[in-house]
Amino acid sequence: MIKNHSMFSSIKTDALSGLVVFLVALPLCLGIAVASGAPPFAGIITGVIGGIIVGILSGSNVSVSGPAAGLIAIVLAAVTNLGYETFLLTVVLAGVFQLILGFAKAGSISSYFPSGVIEGMLTAIGIIIIKKELPHAIGYDIGHEGDFYSYELLDKADQGFFGELIHSFNYAHNGIILVTIISLAILIAFNKVAFLKKIKAIPGALVVVIVGILLNELFRATNSPLLITDEHLVKLPISSSLTEFIAQFRLPDFSGFSNPTVWITAVTIAAVASIETLLCIEAGDKIDPLKRYSSANTELKAQGIGNILAGLIGGIPMTSVIVRTSANVNAGAKTKLSAVAHGIFLLMAVVLIPGLLNKIPMACLAAILIMIGLKLASPKVFLHMWHAGKFQFIPFIVTVIAVVGIDLLKGVGIGLLVSIFYILRGNMKLAYYFKKKEHETGETIHIDLAQEVSFLNKAAIKQTLSHLPRNCKVIINAANTVYIDYDVLELIRDFVNFGAKDKNIEVQLTNFKEAYKMEDAHHVYSD
């Protein structure tokens, strides 16, 4: 059993890892806020609260919370349709809903969402990010908070998105395009060049921001026509006093309680943010070198408190974010203090160096977000889902098309309906037959899988595997199985590779079809 580390057991290591995460988070906080149609300062607010408050309350030792790319589409629509102050009310209500989910112990809900739909949602979000940031990559930053991104504009039959994208080339700026190209080249280099990939203390996003600032200052010093003017730079208010700094915070409009759209939006934010958080927590546990387990219900409560506070003072919604969490783990974080430190660094930056932040070209943030979008919507994802079989690929591609073409919530709903359709084609027999036998060599447990094993059976099988006693032998037999859902296969693989090893369980897989890529084998572990 792994000993839990106290929050202050690795102060030096966690402070350094917090600095690295801060360098990753700063441009992302600004970029995601801007892409969401919110003031850049709103992203900083959320990053600070996600770091300090949620960092302390979190159910994870390595998770880092802040503004999430997965919520951009929802936030953008809400800000456009409701106005910013009313939108803040939806963030507060979303936090309340998350608190309720946490106290209701709804943390296991993520087990009931098929991976095909989840992957489809994330891929669609990537596509949406790319198409919404391309205009800014070429210089169309006019009316950023409600012009180009206006749903009314996008829905015009005579133009639509692609027509308006073509129109944006009328605003093309050579300096902005040059900065975008250089920024993308830097980010690609940090992802592909072995030497740069090893540099953990200097993230590519920070280099992009620094290079963008220096290039534009060079243009300014040489009176170059490539100069990027103020309307294409980050617009973070500079405070000359504490009073002015406090004035940047915005309060929600509580008169919106009677608006049904407010409640619908709040439920949507709570649902998507909770799902993304639970998935990130699960991923964080897998990459945690100390192999600690996080409390999903505690995390939902922490996220709820974080979103309530963010909404009350002018911030955008937050989730646990895999990009920041991965950076945190890779930087050597041991405890929650790392996430807290990153939040403190964000606060210090906005208080002490806002003038420097206002020199950042919007094109740099657009490049960073485009790369995030490309990672989410990578061709490798499409190939992976294709090779996973039609039961995974069809719900995946339907979800992608529906989310991009309609909206996120309806798209996910359509994807779920398609997944359920395939499930209902099979019979709903029990997922497995369970029996115990006592032998001279010890306890042997037989798990005989049924004819049809769907993702709805995942939670039951997961619970059974997690409650197996230590030092036993388990035989998982698929002789009678016609179909096993991809999620269940992944669950069994994870059990063989991690869970069984941790509990010194001998595993025998028998009669698995070749298509499942689960060879019959013994897996024996010893202390």
Q: Go through 90-118 and write b for each residue having 16 or more CB atoms within 10 A of its CB, e for each that does not.
A: bbbbbbbbbbebbeeebbebbbebbbbbb
Under 8 Å between Cβ of 250 and 313: yes
Under 8 Å between Cβ of 284 and 322: yes
Q: What is the pLDDT of residue 15?
A: 86
Residue spans per domain, the chain: 11-371, 379-425, 432-523
Q: Is 323 helix (H, G, I), strand (E, B) or coil?
A: helix
Q: What is the pLDDT of residue 147?
A: 31
pTM: 0.66
Q: What are phi and psi of 446, to 5 degrees?
A: -105, 125
**Which residues contact residue 253 at a Cβ distance below 8 angstroms, ignoring those fewer than 6 apart?**
83, 85, 86, 88, 89
Tens-digit pLDDT string for the chain (527 aa): 334 456 777 788 888 888 878 877 888 888 888 888 898 889 999 999 999 999 999 988 889 999 987 788 889 989 999 999 999 999 999 999 999 999 998 887 766 667 788 788 778 878 887 887 888 888 876 544 333 233 333 333 345 556 656 777 777 889 999 999 999 999 899 888 877 777 766 777 788 889 999 999 999 999 999 999 888 887 777 877 778 888 889 999 999 999 999 999 999 999 889 988 887 787 677 777 777 778 889 999 999 999 999 999 999 999 998 778 877 887 778 889 999 999 999 999 888 888 888 898 888 888 888 887 888 788 988 998 888 877 788 989 999 999 888 876 678 789 889 888 776 654 444 556 666 766 556 688 888 887 778 777 777 788 788 888 888 889 988 888 888 888 888 888 888 888 888 888 888 888 887 766 665 556 665 44
Cβ neighbourhood burial of 136 (10 Å; 0-12, 13-18, 19+):
buried
Provide the token pair at 426: 């099979």
Strands of 473-477's sheet, edge to edge?
432-439, 442-449, 473-477, 506-510, 521-523
Q: What are phi and psi of 53, to 5 degrees?
A: -75, -55
Provide the token pair at 349: 């930056």
**Quick one: which of 331, 266, 298 has its CA closest to 62?**
331
d(CA 20, CA 57): 21
CATH code for 432-523?
Answer: 3.30.750.24
